[in-house]
Amino acid sequence: MEIEIQERPAQRLATVRHVGPYHRVGEAFAILGRRAAEAGLGGPGSEMLALYHDDPKRVPANACRADAALTLAANAPLPEGVVEQHLPAGRYACFTLRGSYAQLNDAWERFFGTWLPASGERRAHGPHFEIYRSTPSEVPETELLTELYIPLA
**pLDDT tens digit string along 5-64?**
999 999 999 999 999 999 899 999 999 999 998 888 877 788 999 999 999 989 999 999
Tell me the whole-structure pTM to 2 decimals.
0.93
Residues 6+ apart with CB under 8 A from 103: 97
CB 80 within 8 A of CB 35: yes
CA torsion through residues 71, 100, 21, 114, sign: negative
Question: How far lies 137's CA from each of 24, 67, 100, 118, in Å?
Answer: 18, 21, 13, 37
Domains and CATH numbers, the chain: 3-151 (3.20.80.10)
Q: What is the pLDDT of residue 136?
A: 86
Instruction: Tell me the pLDDT tens digit for each residue of 139-149.
Output: 999 999 999 99
- Residue 40, Cβ density class (10 Å: 0-12 exposed, 13-18 middle, ≥19 buried): exposed
Strand partners, 69: 15, 49
**Residue 74 scores a pLDDT above 90:** no
**What is the C-alpha separation between 118 and 32, in angstroms, rounded?**
37
**What is the C-alpha separation between 135 and 133, in angstroms, rounded?**
7
**What is the C-alpha separation between 114 and 85, in angstroms, rounded?**
30
Strand partners, 8: 90
CB 98 within 8 A of CB 144: yes
What does the angle CA 55 – CA 94 – CA 147 come to, to the nearest 5 degrees?
Answer: 85
